[in-house]
Amino acid sequence: MEKIVIIGGGAGGLELATDLGDRLGKHNKAQITLIDKNSYHLWKPLLHEVATGVLDEQVDNIYYASQGQQHYFQFTQGTFTDLDRDHKQIKITDINNQTDTIDYDILVVAIGSTSNDFGTPGVKEHCIFLDDQNAAIKLRETLVSKFTRFCSIIDDKDSTEQEKIRIAIVGGGATGVELASELPHMVETFGACGRNKMCSDLLDVSVIEATDRILPALPETTALSITKTLESRGIHVLTKTMITKAESDGFYPKDGQTIKADIMIWTAGVKAPDYLKEIAGLESSRSNQLVVKPTLQTTRDDSIFVIGDCAYAMQESGRASPPTAQAAHQMAKICYENIVNLLNNQPLKSFKYTDNGTIISLHDTAQGVIKLGGKSEMSVKGWFALIIHRLLYRMHQASLLGIFKTIRFARASKFMYKTKSTSIFSNRD
């Protein structure tokens, strides 16, 4: 039986494992194995909500082992470390820190991306990156601990410490903007948990962007409108501000004064992990992504497919498909069809990225554009945009769990938000 190994159970990899399991694993036509360094999946576009306590990772996660049991794939928890193409084997480090070797006939690399600090000095040492669920939980703990400490400063009338909590976020893309817009609400919720003096006025949040505007994926008018929304909530948007260094007290721009910060967050771009660069002689891009043919097979090895953020898939437009959940989902669907076709000696399909638009959530509202049929563009704003934004997540969930379970998840999530988001903040002091 063919052994299909998928490394990475994220936005692309878990959808693929589920589809292949249902189609091939169920009928013993292939053995599907999913490998991930974590034991559960959490949709990455929601990480800023985990970091700010809006979303409970205990409710909205999907355990790989349980998903595999229901969809006919095996799950192995471990970190992928190396590839041996001659012997068709990968190496992983398992949860006991032991090295293990896994054979494959077809390999799919879907390990996503990590933050790119572009070699900026001090960023690795002083900044928090929103790369995975562990980082999001760590950021939440850092924020809560800072808020708690700040409460004691407010109570101490003799204190000479600063009067605001300064949070600086570098990167005016979707991640930075969505995270910034949740922070005032997070402080208000924290204040509602018995710290009456805490309110969003005590927060000093900056979104720092090197180019002349935030959100380059959106039309300029939409980006400007979102800038106004952020500013109306007291968030500073600093454009044309190139950060050249980070130190423990804040960010140092190329021109102008130091941007002092108590919490420094870096969301200024992504790259594939460094160890992927030319791994086992495969062709890679400047951002360490593995270069793939239209079929999503690597240019130098047809038995290896790559999907999602770590794939460099050139499009007819002359640009590679973007590192988004939307692209990862579309790649997973084509990869699924191509693996089935490969096993049946049928011709493979070409991946063509369709941009269906971008919507940015701004806590209680959202704004962006949707592209009907990938072409004509329509601006959306307010509750309608917020519903579409939420629907994107529920559609991902539905592709993994089916409609009925997704509805149950949505109900549980709403209920837990009301009860748990306050408990995240109230059991500390």
Ligand X SMILES: Cc1cc2nc3c(=O)[nH]c(=O)nc-3n(C[C@H](O)[C@H](O)[C@H](O)COP(=O)(O)OP(=O)(O)OC[C@H]3O[C@@H](n4cnc5c(N)ncnc54)[C@H](O)[C@@H]3O)c2cc1C
Judged by CB under 6 A, the chain residues 170 through 189 that form the site for ligand X are 174-175, 178
Per-residue exposure over 67-100, b if at least 16 CB sit within 10 Å of its own CB, e if not: bbeebbbbbbbbbbeebebeebebebeeeeeeee
9 counts as binding ligand X under rule CB under 6 A: yes
309 counts as binding ligand X under rule CB under 6 A: yes
* Residue 198 or 401 with smaller CB distance to ligand X: 401
19 counts as binding ligand X under rule CB under 6 A: no
290 counts as binding ligand X under rule CB under 6 A: no
Would you say the C-alpha torsion 161, 164, 169, 175 has a positive or negative sign?
positive
Asked if residue 158 lies in contact with residue 203, where contact means CB atoms within 8 angstroms, the answer is no
324 counts as binding ligand X under rule CB under 6 A: yes
Q: Which residues contact 146 (CB under 8 A, 6 or more apart)?
A: 165, 262, 263
Closest among 351, 378, 340 to 4, alpha carbons compared: 340
* Residue 210 or 215 with smaller CB distance to ligand X: 215
* Residue 183 or 193 with smaller CB distance to ligand X: 183
Q: How far is the CB of 122 from ligand X (least distance, A)?
A: 22
Q: What is the DSSP letter of 318?
A: S
315 counts as binding ligand X under rule CB under 6 A: no
68 counts as binding ligand X under rule CB under 6 A: no
406 counts as binding ligand X under rule CB under 6 A: no
* Residue 38 or 426 with smaller CB distance to ligand X: 38
**Hunting for tokens 């497919």 — which residue is that?**
305
* Residue 201 or 278 with smaller CB distance to ligand X: 278
* Residue 126 or 329 with smaller CB distance to ligand X: 329
79 counts as binding ligand X under rule CB under 6 A: yes
Binding part of the chain for ligand X, among 38-46, 145-153, 233-241, 340-348 by CB under 6 A, reads: 38-46
299: left (phi over 0), alpha (psi -120 to 50) or beta: alpha
11 counts as binding ligand X under rule CB under 6 A: yes
User: Rounded to whole angstroms, how far apart are CA atoms 307 and 112?
Assistant: 8
Q: How far is the CB of 163 from ligand X (least distance, A)?
A: 29
Q: Tell me the three state secondary structure of residue 308.
A: helix
Judged by CB under 6 A, the chain residues 127 through 166 that form the site for ligand X are 130, 132
Q: How far is the CB of 322 from ligand X (least distance, A)?
A: 8
**Hunting for tokens 């306590």 — which residue is that?**
53
* Residue 115 or 406 with smaller CB distance to ligand X: 115
Q: How far is the CB of 174 from ligand X (least distance, A)?
A: 5
Q: Retrieve residue 67's tokens.
A: 């998903």
385 counts as binding ligand X under rule CB under 6 A: no
Q: What is the CA radius of gyration of the chain?
A: 22
Q: How far is the CB of 195 from ligand X (least distance, A)?
A: 27
Q: For residue 266, give the amino acid letter.
A: W
* Interstrand relation of 106-109 and 2-7 (parallel, antiparallel or unpaired): parallel
Asked if residue 74 lies in contact with residue 31, where contact means CB atoms within 8 angstroms, the answer is yes
Per-residue exposure over 140-158, b if at least 16 CB sit within 10 Å of its own CB, e if not: bebbbeebeebbeeeeeee
Judged by CB under 6 A, the chain residues 84 through 113 that form the site for ligand X are 110-112
Q: How far is the CB of 229 from ligand X (least distance, A)?
A: 16
Binding mask 45-64 for ligand X (x = CB under 6 A): x-xx----------------
What is the CA angle 278-37-271, rounded to 5? 40
Q: Tell me the three state secondary structure of residue 243.
A: strand
Which residues lie near ligand X (CB under 6 A)? 7-13, 35-38, 44-45, 47-48, 79-80, 110-112, 130, 132, 174-175, 178, 308-309, 323-326, 328
